């Protein structure tokens, strides 16, 4: 059976696409799937450093597309996780070196080798985005509970629909305290506005920064809440679509409920 091509996109930059791609790739591979993660940000690669594989790059995606090397030569095996592979972007080429038809060709090859191919889409809706969605079977839209991020996500969702791709949503970097206080959009607000299926909720987690510092996947850190969320999202993608989504903002104890109420009193009134 052929594998799936999943594009991870957001429109807006800096909302966590690369972290989501690296973490879901790691989680899916730990669940026994063969996974390739592809950095589509030609000229500004970063998936390699987040995964701690930056010093193993010899060939990249542009070399493959231009026939300078075989796909296998540009495919870097992860240091820790079996069945996880990275295809890095080139750092020196122009953004539009790759064309949509190149991606079709490449993704057809990847489908035969891997159960999941995750494409880390660059920010924006230009060539890199067009290349990334060209051969995608599925899409994950990453969105922060923040006004500009939601707006850009909405634009990207429209573009995906026009290509007959039905995207699923990850609300990333939720700050439960702020949501409880009423100072941050809740995931429900975001879902209401975007009206697409929710795939997962991830709260802001300091472990993500540490994980990027060291190049160790956050899904392998035992006490990371974000890591746990990514593992569950990977399970939903991987045969358990009905796994319940835990709400990070739900008060977990009476004390939290009380403190939530008290802080709500100090809310700024806007009439």
Partner 1 sequence: MMFNALFKKLMNRGEDSKEVAKKRLKFALVYDKLEIKDEMLEDLQRDLMEVISRYFEIDRKQMSLDIERAEGTSALILNTPILAARHKKPQQNNPPA
Residues that bind partner 1 (CB under 8 A): 48-49, 52, 54-58, 90-93, 209-210, 212-215
| Positive or negative: CA dihedral 204, 16, 158, 37 | negative
The nearer residue to partner 1, 57 or 103, going by C-beta atoms, is: 57
Per-position DSSP letters for 214-246, written without gaps between them? HT--GGG-TT-HHHHHHHHHHHHHTT-TTPPPP
54 CA to centre of own chain: 19
Minimum CB separation of residue 58 from partner 1 in Å reads 5
Contacts of 163 (CB under 8 A, 6+ apart): 133
Minimum CB separation of residue 106 from partner 1 in Å reads 20
Structure tokens at 162: 């026009």
Minimum CB separation of residue 54 from partner 1 in Å reads 5
Report the C-alpha gap between 32 and 87 in whole angstroms.
19
The nearer residue to partner 1, 38 or 135, going by C-beta atoms, is: 38
Are 160 and 187 a contacting pair, CB within 8 Å?
no
The nearer residue to partner 1, 76 or 196, going by C-beta atoms, is: 76
The nearer residue to partner 1, 93 or 146, going by C-beta atoms, is: 93
Minimum CB separation of residue 91 from partner 1 in Å reads 5
Minimum CB separation of residue 25 from partner 1 in Å reads 19
Report the C-alpha gap between 86 and 64 in whole angstroms.
13
The nearer residue to partner 1, 66 or 108, going by C-beta atoms, is: 66
Closest by Cα among 81, 96, 67 to 36: 81
């Amino acid at each position: 059976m052929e594998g799936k091509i999943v594009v991870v996109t957001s429109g807006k930059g800096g909302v966590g696409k690369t972290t989501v791609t690296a973490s879901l790739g790691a989680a899916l591979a730990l669940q026994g799937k063969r996974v390739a993660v592809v950095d589509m940000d030609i000229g500004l690669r970063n998936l390699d450093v987040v995964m701690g594989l930056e010093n193993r790059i010899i060939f990249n995606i542009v070399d493959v597309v231009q026939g300078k090397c075989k796909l296998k030569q540009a495919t870097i095996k992860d240091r820790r996780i079996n069945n996880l592979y990275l295809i890095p972007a080139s750092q020196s080429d122009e953004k539009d070196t790759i064309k949509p038809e190149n991606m079709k060709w490449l993704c057809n090859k990847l489908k035969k080798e891997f159960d999941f191919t995750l494409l880390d889409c660059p920010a924006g809706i230009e060539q890199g985005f067009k290349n990334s969605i060209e051969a995608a079977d599925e899409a994950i839209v990453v969105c922060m509970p923040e006004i500009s991020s939601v707006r850009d996500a909405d634009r990207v969702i429209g573009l995906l629909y026009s290509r007959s791709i039905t995207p699923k949503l990850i609300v990333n970097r939720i700050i439960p305290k702020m949501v409880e206080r009423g100072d941050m959009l809740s995931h429900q607000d975001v879902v209401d506005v975007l009206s697409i299926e929710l795939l997962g909720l991830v709260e802001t987690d300091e472990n993500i920064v540490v994980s990027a510092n060291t190049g160790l996947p956050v899904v392998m850190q035992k006490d990371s809440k974000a890591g746990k969320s990514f593992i569950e999202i990977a399970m939903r993608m991987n045969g358990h679509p009905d796994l319940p989504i835990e709400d990070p903002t739900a008060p977990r104890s009476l004390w939290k409920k009380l403190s939530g109420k008290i802080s709500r009193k100090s809310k700024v009134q806007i009439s």
